[in-house]
Structure 1
Amino acid sequence: MASSSKKVYEVFVSKVPWTVAMKEMREYFGQFGHVKKCQIPFDKKTGFHRGFCWVGFTSEEALTNSLQKDSHVLEGARIQVQLNRRVFAGTRTNKEPEDE
């Protein structure tokens, strides 16, 4: 079993505008706490991301803070944020290296 310091608290984010990049996602969710990882799957045919992503925090407090906000708006669009209930094991993502 992994130690608690390695645990990642994840949210699943949907309805992400195609103009929003990983940098903006990390900056936006950084207001709630330290972002450990951000995964945005891309469509190989179009080159655009698929409109959803996973954001992982290093603390449960950051996760709770992000879930308690009434509405999340990025570039004028309301995005949906919910607790990630399953482990994502995709291989076709633009995944940033995780912080150590």
Structure 2
Amino acid sequence: MFHGARAIQIMLLVAVFLIAPFAMLEVYLVVSIGMTEPYSYMWSVPLGICSFVLVQVALALGVVKGWKSCIAKGHYYLMAAWAICILLTFALPVFFPNRLSFL
């Protein structure tokens, strides 16, 4: 694997690992008790923004180094996992509003 491809893969993995725990927490809370937990957003929003910046830097690096030479095509599954985690984290509260809200 080329140096650019490895850097892109590491950045995308870090981006996914930053946001995935909050996506799993939201899915667990919605499925198990039917509510979303608003206090996790104190951490998930800043980490989601950081992961977005990492994905943008990884894409820019792939474009600058050459998309084909960085084997960026093989990292689409990481970008898809990141997008799914972001959608789960920020869209579940819209579709499942808090029925047991304490606010």
TM-score band (shorter)?
Answer: under 0.3
Larger radius of gyration: 2
Q: When you count helix as a share of all residues, which structure comes out higher? A: 2
TM-score by length of 2: 0.25
Higher relative contact order (CA 8 A, sep 6+): 2
Larger fraction in strand: 1
